[in-house]
Structure 1
């Protein structure tokens, strides 16, 4: 860990950037001056990014179909990308889905096991999130114990079955390609989807039981792609207090009004709207809805989204950055990070003040990324 005092930089406080020194010792931000000083004139220091939901790591674990890296090497590569984009705490969102393949049970078990084995050797704080397809009822009985075994404290519920087409007896779009990608016979894959759809009436009661058990164990729970206020209210009744990527304004407003955590996608902000026609995250934020931005599928987006919100005058920079630091930390129940304050973890991001490119990333007082001219400043 570095024991150092940064001077000359603009430091993001509770309200704005301000020129002041910033000291770090024993992995924490401190008000005690340090003998080692590094001049960071021309740079700004902001809190490290807390990414509450991201699946961009998948490309590192399986760069091509059939070309699987070892999990250890894949997670090391994923951490390098996370750190290069200023992310100091990363939640890796891994599916267990009827889709199989990289979203199958066996692959998920490998991912979660690898996170447990590798995380202590990395600088970035890596955590797993289980994304569970709701119709996999056969997994429910063992799931609470499996989550404990995998070291997980966060689950998000999804339902990606194409119910409309299945209810009409139609073959779902892209079904054959999906089956082959998962290594299944298309007829068997279709039959499995039909069987899962047929047990839809049993899902609500099973979810009631599962959520009650998980809540008693202190598991954070979220719902994914909410579309209605009624649906969000049902999840809330089960103790599911995180609404990830609500698809409609109605669902987002209902979640926010009830005090639930609303997580929006950073790529949605950067693009200026959803890639599949859902409600605009930019519009929701302009309405005061949404307490956290997640990378979703693109790790550079949280940093870009925060600056875009500030540059367009939607929010002051301090409030915009809150959406990628303290806001996500609150979703995860992590009160020790997300802001630059004495006694908090030294999770810091140093940016070139002109280009806003990442120059240095520090997680828990340890450097996870450093690039360019800033390295020479540490050697003076």
Structure 2
């Protein structure tokens, strides 16, 4: 396959030219057009590597499209996969929440239903993107460690993150914001919310630290990448480094982001934060970290289309010094390398031919075509 007449987004520059791939691998690229008549005409659009998503909750939306509605697993998986590919994401770490007692994360059967759908669709080559697993461990629960121990040897496991969403912690240092969010999410009256808040505080005091130590120790032993989540202080960043974290997911303050960076962690922020212009929780804005040069990886989190959009928005933003190859790296090579995937994420000879053709109308970018291992999937 030859793709001609494109702007190739390489690691350090953008070059107009053509690209050839064979057997799912990039064979060569050139700064001159191909003269072969069978070449695909890219019509002068951008050709970039397929995007790598480390943290998306999108799968949950298809398994439970409405409260108390459970959708058939393989239908849900197929729809989720299609949405990922349509937005140029060719490698997906599907986030599975362990230990969240109100969202089904306390039930092994519910978790295995989602993991089983990922494994089955991957085994039978039904997916267009490659799907892996990210276990999001909600630390302040007695169910978290037993469930993790039953799931931790899942072959597709590529990332573990440690979360603490208890009141007064990290993302929810503001108790007012905590109550507003969870009362709205679970439709609780004031009395029910008081009981929920009290129970979460009890769970956190009893289980957060023991679970953090046990899960991180297993990840270090088995060399599974570990991510912190919602670190807010210097102490949080130091603790994350001490237990072996290599990624700082969604630090909530500039202090935590800087401390994480100084300690060798890669800072991951939400692409919706870039698109919307700030955090929906009132935490540090991703574009602020970008302006300080402290942003390494973007995640679509809850909105898949935000990933591509955010990368191009950052490249246009004059408040930072990032150029397009650098912002594209935040959604391709940087996340890939952070979990040890060195065979993808860049346009280079010998790398996987995961490719996305991107066009632009005014300042909005659109996915025109997607290839996974050289096979047209969109």
Task: Identify which range, 316-325 or 63-72, moves more after superposition.
Answer: 63-72
- Structure 1 residue 316 and structure 2 residue 323: aligned? yes
State the match for 1:331 in structure 2: 338
Contact 2:166 2:200 in 1 (8 A): no
How far is 1:201 from its partner?
4.8
How far is 1:349 from its partner?
0.3
Contact 2:141 2:207 in 1 (8 A): no
Q: TM-score, normalised by structure 2?
A: 0.86
How far is 1:57 from its partner?
2.7
Distance 2:306 2:90 in 1: 14
- Structure 1 residue 307 and structure 2 residue 312: aligned? yes
State the match for 2:24 in structure 1: 27
- Structure 1 residue 239 and structure 2 residue 229: aligned? no
Closer, same or farther: CA 174–250 of 1 in aligned 2, 3 Å: closer
Closer, same or farther: CA 368–16 of 1 in aligned 2, 3 Å: same
Q: What are the equivalent positions in structure 2 for 1:3-152 lying under 5 Å apart?
A: 4-31=1-28, 36-105=38-107, 106-119=109-122, 120-141=125-146, 143-149=148-154, 151-152=156-157
- Structure 1 residue 364 and structure 2 residue 373: aligned? yes
State the match for 1:372 in structure 2: none
SS of structure 1 residue aligned to 2:43: coil
Superposed CA RMSD in Å reads 2.8
State the match for 1:378 in structure 2: none
State the match for 1:349 in structure 2: 356
Q: What are the equivalent positions in structure 2 for 1:206-221 lying under 5 Å apart?
A: 206-221=211-226
**CA deviation profile, 1:30-66 (whole Å, cap 9, x unmatched):** 0299884222223221111111111123222221123
State the match for 2:202 in structure 1: 197
Distance 1:353 1:160 in 2: 39
Unaligned runs of 5+ in 1: 370-380
Distance 1:175 1:269 in 2: 24
SS of structure 2 residue aligned to 1:121: coil
Closer, same or farther: CA 150–339 of 1 in aligned 2, 3 Å: closer
How far is 1:198 from its partner?
5.1
How far is 1:286 from its partner?
1.3
Distance 1:76 1:172 in 2: 35
SS of structure 1 residue aligned to 2:95: strand
Closer, same or farther: CA 353–160 of 1 in aligned 2, 3 Å: closer
Distance 1:137 1:223 in 2: 20
Distance 2:150 2:111 in 1: 15
Which of 268, 282, 294 is the aligned partner of 1:263?
268
**CA deviation profile, 1:5-50 (whole Å, cap 9, x unmatched):** 1111111122332121100110110029988422222322111111
Q: What are the equivalent positions in structure 2 for 1:158-177 lying under 5 Å apart?
A: 158-162=163-167
- How many pairs align? 358
Closer, same or farther: CA 63–143 of 1 in aligned 2, 3 Å: closer
Closer, same or farther: CA 201–329 of 1 in aligned 2, 3 Å: same
